[in-house]
Amino acid sequence: MNDDWPEQADGWELARHDRVESYRKRLANQVTVAATWDEGLGTGRVEAYVEPAGIGRTLSQSRKDFRDKEAFWTAAYSVVEMAANLPSLGQGHESPAELVLFGDVAGTVEAEPGSAGVPEAELTFTLADGRSVCLRLSDEQAFDLCRRIDRLEDHVWSEEREDDASEPLPETDAEVPDTSEIQSSPDTGHDVVSLLDTQFGVAEDHLLAHVDWSAVIVVGEPAVSSLIERSAELSAALGPRWYPTAVDRPGERWVVLRRALS
């Protein structure tokens, strides 16, 4: 923070001039994302450039002014996400951005709903050196993180499962009942995702999930309309551990599948 950028707002440096708000986020790879919102005109622009400002190369710039502040901020965070994944663009450097934090996590990881008023999750954990770290993830990122951790769990325990499978089962003459027509209800969130795909044709592209898998959210058409039309079939397939509800959002509807409280 310096005299030209005297304020901080949600991780951005902020300077106000009359009714114009200028935001800046400088990244470790020498890229700067600038977002300017004119409150008087109700317009905003976003750009990403390599330092120094005015001389460095412009990487991305909005072609026209945004006239909706929500769309303006959506674009700003999209540009930050794009720019953060670029290699270092400083003179003489082509390596990725430096690893800022690395260490063992002490204790458990706390997962809470986000505090910025949009669907998101916040992960808070403490490193063994005593520093606390909070990560803010969108619903899509949280869902992707859960899937990747699930795959990691499969890898970590695969050897143990193979050892269990190698042990021969005792022979028995007991009659095995026919269970081919019995269909169990889903238990975990991953089971729900699988059921939506196999029985209702809803692919993962239409799915979001709470970071603790207490709910799976279906967004986008025609997936939402299809599930609403088949609501009775959906309820029967999910119960008793899960139940569906329809939620109205600005300009769209969601189908939210929630885990029943035990």
- Residue range 180-235, pLDDT digits in tens: 454 567 888 888 888 999 999 998 888 887 767 778 888 888 899 999 999 899 98
β-strands 120-127, 12-17: how paired?
unpaired
Report yes or no on 60 lying in a domain: yes
Q: Does pLDDT of 129 surpass 80?
A: no
Q: Does pLDDT of 92 surpass 50?
A: no
- The number of helices, as runs of H, and strands, as runs of E, in the chain is 5, 13
12 shares its domain with 78: yes
Report yes or no on 114 lying in a domain: yes
Three-state secondary-structure class, residue 165: helix
Report yes or no on 149 lying in a domain: no
Report yes or no on 92 lying in a domain: no
In angstroms, the Cα distances linking 23 to 8, 71, 78, 228 are 9, 15, 15, 42
Report yes or no on 164 lying in a domain: no
- Write 147-154 long-range contacts (CB < 8 A, 24+): 150/190
Q: Tell me the mean pLDDT in the region 123-135.
A: 80
Residue span of the structural domain in which 111 resides = 106-138
pLDDT tens profile 14-70: 999 989 999 998 887 788 899 999 988 889 999 888 876 555 577 777 767 888 888
70 shares its domain with 118: no
Per the structure, the count of domains in the chain is 3
69 shares its domain with 115: no
12 shares its domain with 77: yes
pLDDT band at 90 (very low <50, low <70, confident <90, very high): low
75 shares its domain with 123: no
Q: Are 142 and 135 in contact (CB under 8 A)?
A: no
Q: How far apart are CA 90 and CA 103, in angstroms?
A: 27
In angstroms, the Cα distances linking 14 to 3, 26, 180 are 11, 12, 63
Q: Are 66 and 53 in contact (CB under 8 A)?
A: no
Q: How far apart are CA 63 and CA 22, in angstroms?
A: 18
pTM of the model: 0.45
134 shares its domain with 72: no
pLDDT tens profile 162-178: 555 556 656 656 566 55
CA 1 to chain centre: 29
11 shares its domain with 50: yes
Three-state secondary-structure class, residue 147: helix
Report yes or no on 239 lying in a domain: yes
pLDDT band at 117 (very low <50, low <70, confident <90, very high): low
Order the strands of the 7-9 sheet from edge to edge. Answer: 7-9, 12-17, 20-26, 31-38, 43-50, 58-61
Is omega for the bond preceding 222 within 30 degrees of 0, making it cis? yes
Report yes or no on 230 lying in a domain: yes
